[in-house]
Amino acid sequence: MYVQDRRIVHVAVLATALKLLLIPSAFSTDFEVHRHWKALTRSLPLSEWYVDSSSPWTLDYPPLFAYMERAMAELAALVHPPIVDVFNFEYHAAPAVLFMRLSVIASDAVLL
């Protein structure tokens, strides 16, 4: 392994460890935004994803990102169905928090 590759691995391990430590931390608006986007992409037909106004958090990211949210929404529905209830605003139950935080870590691993 090259020195640069080792550095990347070390940074990834440290970032993952920090994210694991922060799982029970406070919530930002982003938490609810991403939970809602998962619910939105799972509950509505594709033609309504970008025009839905049921909440202040309209989907405004590119389609590839929306499809990623949809894929994660399918997993979320298997793990804890209330995560993807489109009208379940400000939902912070422990299984939802764990799923959402671990999905970030998993996404980082895929990108790495």
Dihedral through CA 61, CA 62, CA 66, CA 69, nearest 10? Answer: -60
Residue 42 has phi, psi (to 5 degrees) of -85, -30
Which amino acid, one-letter code, is at 41?
A: T
Q: Is the pTM of this model over 0.85?
A: no
| pLDDT for 4 | 73
Please, what is the average pLDDT of the chain? 88
Top-ranked range on mean pLDDT: pick from 12-16, 67-71, 101-105, 108-112: 67-71
Q: Counting Cβ atoms within 10 Å, is residue 55 exposed (0-12), middle (13-18) or buried (19+)?
A: middle
| pLDDT for 78 | 96
**What tens digit of pLDDT does each residue of 46-66 get?**
999 999 988 888 898 999 999
| pLDDT for 64 | 93
**What tens digit of pLDDT does each residue of 13-48 get?**
888 888 888 877 777 778 899 999 999 999 999 999
**Whether pLDDT at 1 is above 60:** no
For 28, the token pair is 């930002």
